[in-house]
Amino acid sequence: MMIDPQERAVGMPRIEVVFARQRRQYDPGDRLAVRYAVEGCEGESTRAVEHSVVWYTEGKGEEDLGVHFFERITDRASLPDAVRGGSFETALPGSPLSYEGVIVKVRWCVRVRLFFASGRDFVSEHVFLVGRIPPARLPPRGG
Amino acid sequence: MRLPRLYAKKRGHRRTVSREWGVLGDGIFHGILLAAGLFFGGILVSGVVAPEWRINHDFVRTTCSIRAKGLARIMRRDSPGGTVAHWEPRLLVRYLTDGVDRESWARITAHDTSVERDRALGRLARWELGAEVPGWFDPADPEDVVLERGYSGWLWLLGLLLPGALVLIGGTGLLRRLRSWGKSEERLAASAGLSELLDPLAHPAPAAPGHPGVPMWDDLVNSPGTILRYRLPVESPEYWTVFGFGFFALLWNLVVVVLAVGPGLDLLGGRFEWWVVALLVPFLAVGVGGIVLFVRSLLLATAIGTTQVEISAHPLLPGGRYDVLLAQGGTRVLRSLEVLLELEEHATFRQGTDTRSEQVTVYRQQVLACGDVRPAPTSRFETRTVVEIPVDAMHSFTAAHNAVRWRLVVRGTPDRSPAFSRAFPLVVLPASAAPSSDESPTRPPAVQPERNGAGTGRESR
């Protein structure tokens, strides 16, 4: 069944995240600063906004997740501003570094998650790199 | 109100069932376990534990004079529609309660029934008619008297162990689900502690302090080397093979012994049933085969001699060069002996109800190769080399289901035995942070699923 893109977009917020570094390339210990702007959730009551900087694994194994930075905004004074947009920053840790392995991959990302009063939530994820590890390749057979 | 979707898209191409339905199903399952535990626990507490506790705490002491002996027949339901008679020894006793002279058929203990009538009768033998014995009566029902107090240990154990386990599994599972309801995975992961307590198996070994995701290396530096600074511990698959064969042989042959006891006794009594022996022969053959395999693998593992690897420093750093000493014991001539530096990725995943793991070696470099190694009878073969960790190497990484492991692998080919392989784990730390620069040439992000600023959005409820 074909889904009309316009129809799919209804009720789906759009979160734009801008990294202080356009290339999204960071070294361990660097300061990560991001700004975000939310569009398309006018008229929906929001009960919380979460900002996080996490690493997770991808690949053959079950997903592992590590949270480096986490912030939840629920108070009525800050929430209206946070729902429209905001910024946050954190110093990155020394590890783990981003890694593009064969069956194990480690990725870093910034997540902005909106919790609506209706019970649903929406998360926007923005990948960046920590470290400069080249992608892994299988060694030649018999090597 | 929107109902949860039956399926939801996970990251990547995998489509899974909805998280909400999963949480709901898991919650119902654990709720049923908890309810079952409470139900059976309640039955056992009200039927066994509480009456015994009352006898030991509330019943009032008196002196009873034994007047007669008898058995009470109690009919209990057994199979559907059927009943079975239980016999309880009783003693007719005379005693005083608050100045009132009473007579009642007393129980000996709180729970003293038997399906065997003779056994119940035997319990009465030691009580003498006319004897004066201590007894305890229920102040709420003075006709209810027991002559011995105490606790039925096994009944208490049964009463607490089985329902207790159900309550524990169901309760912690339900608590875990309730705790995660409506919370993001980031929030749950950020507030570890209780989740580790509720689900200890889901968490990896602790990471090295100051190095998130890097395994601890305490176990790799607690053994000093004879020439270089540290002797690395060995992770040899051969030893696990020997252990596996040994365990199988032991277990299988124990079963064979248990099965052989009856026919053996029959044989000693002069009876020989050939079909029983015929049934035992295949079991016996497998048992003997297990022992042969165990002895063979043990001989192969021990005949090679020990392999030791020492290193000049630990943990290692990308770009670092480290002295390595290889020492091979034993007297076997080895056609080849080599040392490899390897990087292995390890992933654990679920397939149905099975947990499986997969390893892939993504980096392999030969750091030493020797041919025609002939250890002297009185001393071990020793050689030194230098190992260099690539400057852009991935550091050692460990998480609950994924790992990236560095190791030195020693491979040898004996003259007249199968090749062997022994691994020595290493920990490589991340390189210290280089001066950051957006200007320096870098590769683009490996995964760039969205244009700059517009991330991947997922609606998850």
Quick: pLDDT tens for B123-175: 888 899 999 999 999 988 889 999 998 887 777 777 678 888 999 999 988 88
DSSP-derived pairing of the beta strands A65-73 and A85-91:
unpaired
* CA separation for the pair B9, B16 (Å, rounded): 6
* CA separation for the pair B412, B420 (Å, rounded): 5
Provide the H-helix boundaries in B58-183.
Answer: 117-124, 153-180
* CA separation for the pair B250, B294 (Å, rounded): 10
> Does the distance separating the beta carbons of B438 and A25 come in below 8 Å?
yes
Q: Tokens representing A69?
A: 């930075």
Per-residue model confidence as pLDDT tens for chain B (461 residues): 445 554 444 443 333 445 667 777 888 898 999 999 999 888 888 877 788 888 888 999 999 999 999 999 888 877 677 788 889 999 999 998 888 899 999 999 888 888 888 888 888 888 999 999 999 999 888 899 999 988 877 777 776 788 889 999 999 888 888 877 778 888 888 876 555 555 655 555 677 778 899 999 988 888 999 999 999 999 877 778 889 999 999 999 999 998 888 888 888 887 777 888 888 899 999 999 999 999 988 887 777 888 999 999 999 999 999 999 999 988 788 899 999 999 999 999 988 778 899 999 999 999 999 988 887 777 888 999 999 999 999 999 999 999 999 999 999 998 878 888 899 999 999 986 333 444 333 333 333 333 333 345 555 44
* CA separation for the pair B305, B290 (Å, rounded): 24
Q: Tokens representing B342?
A: 């390897």
B12: closest chain A residue by CA: A58
* CA separation for the pair A64, B143 (Å, rounded): 66
Q: How far apart are the first and last CA of chain B?
A: 12
Tell me which residues of chain A, numbers 101 to 130, contact chain B at a CB-CB cutoff of 8 Å.
101-107, 110-113, 118-129
A91 in contact with B, Cβ within 8 Å: no
> Does the distance separating the beta carbons of A61 and B348 come in below 8 Å?
yes
> Does the distance separating the beta carbons of B186 and A50 come in below 8 Å?
yes
> Does the distance separating the beta carbons of B399 and A64 come in below 8 Å?
yes
A-chain CB neighbours of B210 within 8 Å are 94
Q: Tokens representing B385?
A: 């080399």
Q: Tokens representing B71?
A: 């058995």
Name the minimum distance, in Å, from the CA of A95 to any CA of chain B: 5
A23 in contact with B, Cβ within 8 Å: yes
> Does the distance separating the beta carbons of B443 and A104 come in below 8 Å?
no
Disruptive mutation site among B2, B186, B392, B406 for chain A (greatest number of A CBs within 10 Å): B186
CATH code of the domain made up of A5-51+67-93+110-130: 2.60.40.10
Q: Return the DSSP state at B446.
A: S
* CA separation for the pair A54, A69 (Å, rounded): 7
For residue B360, which phi and psi values (nearest 5 degrees)? -135, 130
A44 in contact with B, Cβ within 8 Å: no
What's the pLDDT tens digit per position in B172-190?
888 888 877 778 888 888 8
Q: Return the DSSP state at B316.
A: B
Identify the H or E element spanning A79.
helix A79-84
What are B409's strand-pairing partners?
A: B340, B423
B-chain CB neighbours of A95 within 8 Å are 211-214, 395, 397, 429-430
Using only the alpha carbons of chain A, give its radius of gyration.
18
Name the minimum distance, in Å, from the CA of B401 to any CA of chain A: 6
Q: Tokens representing B449?
A: 């699923």
Question: Mind giving me the DSSP string for B295-324?
Answer: HHHHHHHHHS--EEEEESSSSB-TT-EEEE
Cα atoms in the 13 Å half-sphere on the side-chain side of A119: 7
* CA separation for the pair B182, A113 (Å, rounded): 12
Average pLDDT over residues A8-14: 63
B-chain CB neighbours of A98 within 8 Å are 446
DSSP-derived pairing of the beta strands B132-138 and B141-146:
antiparallel
Q: Tokens representing B333?
A: 């001539």
A13 in contact with B, Cβ within 8 Å: yes
Q: Tokens representing B405?
A: 């492991």
